[in-house]
């Protein structure tokens, strides 16, 4: 699957975000090693601190289906001039499953950044041996 296709899926699912409080919608599309794509959106709550990011919701869907082998993550946010990088909590959760994962982030069409979890999260919390 091409970067454009994965970004396209993240852009499409972003429309389903539940973000009435921030008005900032995020869509994520996570490509697994077996070719399947797991999507996620941010789901906010009136009790604001309960809001969950799109990236973590995509990971949760994959893990629930028994998939933890991830090869690429696309994230699309509502229009900001610069692409919006995943939050610190999501970086820790991504790192749990993928140490070198390529990540593509786009805001308005074409405003795209290519990075990796290794670049975004160089010094993880890792107290347990796995
Ligand atoms: N959000 C995400 O979905 N992913 C991130 O990595 C950062 C923030 C969501 C959470 C909240 O619903 C909205 O964006 C504004 O913070």
Distance 106 CA to ligand 1 centre (A): 14
**In ligand 1, which atom is closest to the CA atom of 51?**
12
User: For 74-123, what is each residue's pLDDT tens digit?
Assistant: 999 998 888 999 999 999 999 999 999 999 999 999 899 999 999 999 99
User: For 38-81, what is each residue's pLDDT tens digit?
Assistant: 999 999 999 999 999 999 999 999 999 999 999 999 999 998 88
Predicted structure pTM score: 0.96
* Ligand 1 close to Cβ of residue 106 (< 6 A): no
pLDDT beyond 70 at 130: no
Please tell me the distance from the alpha carbon of residue 1 to that of residue 95, in angstroms, as a whole number.
Answer: 22
Q: Is residue 12 annotated as part of the catalytic site, yes or no?
A: no
Distance 28 CA to ligand 1 centre (A): 11
Residue 112 to residues 16, 33, 41: CA-CA distances in angstroms? 21, 23, 19
* Ligand 1 close to Cβ of residue 90 (< 6 A): yes
């Amino acid at each position: 699957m091409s970067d454009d296709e994965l970004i396209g899926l993240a852009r499409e699912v972003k429309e389903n975000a539940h973000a009435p409080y921030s008005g900032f919608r995020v869509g994520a599309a996570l490509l697994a090693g077996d070719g399947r794509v797991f999507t996620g959106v941010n789901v906010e709550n009136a009790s604001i601190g309960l809001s969950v990011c799109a990236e973590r919701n995509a990971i949760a869907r994959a893990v629930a289906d028994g998939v933890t082998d991830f090869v690429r993550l696309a994230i699309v946010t509502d229009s900001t001039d610069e692409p919006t990088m995943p939050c610190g909590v999501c970086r820790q959760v991504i790192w749990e499953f993928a140490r070198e994962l390529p990540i593509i982030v786009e805001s308005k069409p074409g405003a795209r950044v290519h990075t990796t979890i290794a670049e975004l999260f160089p010094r993880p919390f890792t107290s347990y041996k796995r």
